[in-house]
Amino acid sequence: MEGRINQSRRDFLKVAAVAAGVSAVSFVAVSRDELKKLLVPVRVEDLIAEAAEAGSPLERRAQEREAKLKQWCQAEAEKICSSMGEDSEACKEARKRCAMIKVKATGPREGVRFAMALDVNKCIGCRRCAYACVMENNQARNLGIEWIKVLEIPREEMEIVYANMHYTDAPKPNMVYVPVACMHCEDPPCTMVCPVKATWKEPDGIVVVDYDRCIGCRYCITACPYGARRFNWAKPYVPVTELNPNMHILGNVPRQIHVVEKCTWCIQRTRDGGVPACVEVCPVGARVFGDLHDPSSPIRRVIEEYGAFVLKPEAGTRPRFFYFFGPKRTPPREPGTERETGH
Amino acid sequence: MTADGSFLDTIKFIVREALLNGGRRYYLALIGLLIVALYGMYLWIFVQHAPIFLGKEEGGLILTDLSDSVPWGIYIAFFVFWVGVAAAGIVFGIAAYVFGDKEFKKVAVLGEVQAVAAIITVLLLITVDIGRPFRAMILMPQLPNLRSMLDWDFIVLTGYLTLNLIGMLVTVHYYRQDKPLPKKFIVPFITIAAPFAIGIHTVTAFISQALTARPIWNSPLLAPRYVATAFASGPAILLLALYLAERYMKGFKVDFSVYKKTLYVIVGSLVVGLYFTLSEVHEIFWYTTEPMKKAQAQVLFLGYHLPYLAKMMWLWIGLGIAAVILGILPRVHNSKKGIILVSVITIVAVVAEKTMTIIIPAFVPGTLGEVHPYYPTALEIGITAGVHAIGILIYLLLARPALKAVMTHYFKGSGAHH
Ligand code: SF4
Ligand code: SF4
């Protein structure tokens, strides 16, 4: 009896050793460095602090990413140059952009609270903002990802079920155009549901995604009432000749496959004091961006002067993207083109 | 050889019985399942190989029909179904140890085996669904992130899996040595496992129930409905397994009362499930003022944009009612064949109800009114089939030793024990 038990113990130990060996091998195969970095539990507060302080792990990650990106970019540029010739336009462009690549990890500024507003009366549905956003934020050209969706909604009923985002001509007099991107909600359901805390809200109100942590479960896409999040269903591709070299590690660095991304209010610009690309590019000046805490900022003026509303207030997420009906319509309404409103 | 007291020997017994003591047909079944499983795995690697295995740029989930509009599809749909089946595995245990039914004691272990197999299927389905599964493993230490329902679900699922593995091991351990189960074990076991069973399905429903972004899920009936129909499909699958075990295992006999009492549970749960559906239909088509919910309900019940959804929904209603009516006919519920027929109908009905018709309508039309239909591709179906093959394989591997142990204890002298 005694001998048998000892025998089975020995057997058990043997099996355990083999199992441990196999799991060790498989862990090493997944890259041990990465494993060590990620094998620590984190709190969202830590992540926010990390993003805020200088010399943080985030900054280190940004530098590593920058080096890698440069390498990749130069390799791509080499390819272009050898196939199209050293003094071709594309080659020069690619070289220039590679040299300019900079990945920042700028933290939020104290006391700033960003917000954006859009004049529904002005917007003509030209979709230039969506296009500028693609270029500015290095969005995948092969996946049809666009962070901004422009909805065409019947003027008399602002109901999203009747929205059409695949219209071909605009503006139409009986329609309003409602661009929708991430609303940077005050109570974002998307960050709440993330099982691995890969996404959170920064103190300045920008909701960010850490692409290195996201596991691609797509729960946040399911939770967002504004359809703001996009998933990289395949490896995203951005031609180096169109690469925006001004990058932020939590913003527009080129994404990996199978991670979620979304509008960050151009974190790489706004944290340095600029405005988002969509605001800059809008031909009719429909967009307003600024610091909600600053009494002299345009966003405050707009809200106080016109009054603003948000989409789907019933979702209870308290968006910080406002809509308002400004003073003028562009283009002017032509008489006789209004829809019958039933009286 | 006399069976002795160590658990290691029990594990050895299970392995031996599972792998070495089968007939020709048994091995053929194993090999068949293994082939399907490997093929599914191969397909999955083909989808995923880009990021994980080769670092290549092709591949990725884009090969499925999922999109930003419909980010969850057939994998998550079947995930919901199997969580239900796992939860209902406890029905035999409750009948046996709460109500002290002797006949159920003989088969309670099958419920545990079913729960183990179903939960492994469930975990595999999540794994094939997420984009970066290895990263998910690495991030496990984040786990008690109790704000995310997904984490709760992971915790209760693995908890329930562990519980059932222990339950199964202990049962096999004692029965194999021809000893009854000790009260010290079974009382706490059933007290924890029974609420856990309801818990896993409730939490799974909570994953979607409270998302304001998806109006059709915003029904307080979603979780109860999950549980109700689970208690129809789970026992139905158990009965089917019992029936097959009786046919293919020499000397294994189950009392007819087990079939009949389980049928009561099935019919009762079906009635409750159908009643919930009726209640939701009333709310949606008569009174709801939420236009998105109405639009999504039209996709679900009337098949706008996605005709197959409506077909499945009406299949559930039609077959559900049929199963209830058949179940209450004396001619049917007094024969084993009749009960098995009702079980099969129930399984089909609940598969129709608990899979695509729960997941997909919430995304069509999407949050911004966009209509993007979803049809599972052959690739996704293949991967799902592969995962199911693994589940059935585990079921088969564990059920035989478990039932053999039961036979040692209850059918002494029937010549079943080697
Ligand atoms: S709009 Fe969507 S993605 Fe953006 S913060 Fe709100 S819930 Fe999150
Ligand atoms: S997809 Fe990524 S960011 Fe979204 S919930 Fe899952 S892990 Fe979090």
Question: Does A2 reside within a domain?
Answer: yes
Residue A306 Cβ inside 6 Å of ligand 2? The answer reads: no
Q: Does A155 share its domain with A291?
A: yes
A275 touches chain B (CB under 8 A): no
Residue A44 Cβ inside 6 Å of ligand 2? The answer reads: no
A195 touches chain B (CB under 8 A): yes
Cα dihedral B189, B191, B194, B196, rounded to 10, equals -80
Question: Does B339 reside within a domain?
Answer: no
pLDDT value of position A139: 95
Q: Does A255 share its domain with A182?
A: yes
- Total domain count, chain B: 1
Per-residue pLDDT, averaged over A190-209, amounts to 92
- Total domain count, chain A: 3
Question: Does B237 reside within a domain?
Answer: yes
Domain limits for position B244: 7-260+372-411
For B67, how many CA atoms within 13 A lie in the half-sphere containing its CB? 19
**Residue whose CA is closest, atom 4 of ligand 2?**
A220
* Atom from ligand 1 closest to the CA of residue A262: 3
A39 touches chain B (CB under 8 A): yes
Q: Does A73 share its domain with A177?
A: no
Which of chain B's residues have a Cβ under 8 Å away from the Cβ of A193?
147-150, 211
Cβ atoms of B362 and B216 within 8 Å: the answer is yes
Average pLDDT taken over every residue of chain A? 86
CA distance B35 to B389: 9
Cβ atoms of A178 and A123 within 8 Å: the answer is yes
Question: Does A163 reside within a domain?
Answer: yes
Q: Does A157 share its domain with A100?
A: no
Give the tens place of pLDDT for each residue, A93-148: 999 999 999 999 998 988 899 999 999 999 999 999 999 999 999 999 989 899 99
- First-to-last alpha carbon distance for chain B, in angstroms, is 9
CA–centroid distance, B326 to ligand 1, in Å, is 49
At A260 the three-state DSSP class reads strand
Enter the pTM of the model: 0.87
For A106, how many CA atoms within 13 A lie in the half-sphere containing its CB? 21
Q: Residue A184 pLDDT more than 80? A: yes
At A156 the three-state DSSP class reads coil
CA distance B227 to B224: 5
Residues 6+ apart with CB under 8 A from A235: A256, A257, B50, B51, B57, B58, B60
Domain limits for position A44: 1-53
Backbone angles phi, psi at B296, to 5 degrees: -70, -35
CATH number of the domain to which B129 belongs:
1.20.1630
| Positive/negative CA dihedral, B412, B416, B417, B418 | positive
Name residues 40-69 of chain A within 8 A of B (Cβ).
40-42
* Atom from ligand 2 closest to the CA of residue A193: 5
Give the tens place of pLDDT for each residue, B32-81: 999 999 999 988 888 876 555 555 667 788 889 999 999 999 999 999 99
CA distance B243 to B338: 12
How far apart are the CA of A15 and the nearest CA of chain B, in angstroms? 12
Among residues B124, B119, B115, the alpha carbon closest in space to that of B41 is found at B124
Q: Residue A159 pLDDT more than 90? A: no
Query: CB distance B368–A163 less than 8 Å?
Result: yes
Which of chain A's residues have a Cβ under 8 Å away from the Cβ of B139?
38, 196, 213, 215
How far apart are the CA of B333 and the nearest CA of chain A, in angstroms? 43
Give the tens place of pLDDT for each residue, B367-386: 999 999 999 999 999 999 99
Mutate to test the interface with A, among B67, B212, B360, B374 (most CBs of A within 10 A): B212
Q: Does A149 share its domain with A81?
A: no
Q: Does A145 share its domain with A194?
A: yes
Q: Does A25 share its domain with A151?
A: no
Question: Does B274 reside within a domain?
Answer: no
Residue indicated by tokens 């071909």 = A168
Q: What is the CA radius of gyration of chain B?
A: 22
CA distance A188 to B85: 33
pLDDT value of position A99: 93
Closest alpha carbon within chain B to A166: B370
pLDDT tens per residue across all 418 residues of chain B: 444 567 888 888 888 888 887 788 889 999 999 999 999 998 888 887 655 555 566 778 888 999 999 999 999 999 999 999 999 888 898 899 888 888 898 899 999 999 999 999 999 999 999 988 888 777 666 666 778 888 889 889 999 999 999 999 999 999 988 888 888 888 888 889 999 999 999 999 999 998 989 999 998 899 999 999 999 999 999 999 999 999 988 888 889 999 999 999 999 999 999 999 999 999 999 888 888 999 999 999 999 999 999 999 999 999 999 999 999 999 999 999 999 999 999 999 999 999 999 999 999 999 999 999 999 999 999 999 999 999 999 999 999 899 989 888 887 654 444 4
Q: Does A164 share its domain with A97?
A: no
Residues 6+ apart with CB under 8 A from B64: B47, B73, B376, B377, B379, B380
CA–centroid distance, B128 to ligand 1, in Å, is 26
Cβ atoms of B305 and B366 within 8 Å: the answer is no
pLDDT value of position B415: 45
Q: Does A38 share its domain with A66?
A: no
Cβ atoms of B287 and B340 within 8 Å: the answer is no
Q: Does A174 share its domain with A253?
A: yes
Closest alpha carbon within chain A to B135: A215
How, if at all, do strands A246-248 and A102-104 pair? parallel
Among residues A242, A270, A282, A221, the alpha carbon closest in space to that of A139 is found at A242
When pLDDT is cut at 50, 70 and 90, the band that residue A39 belongs to is low
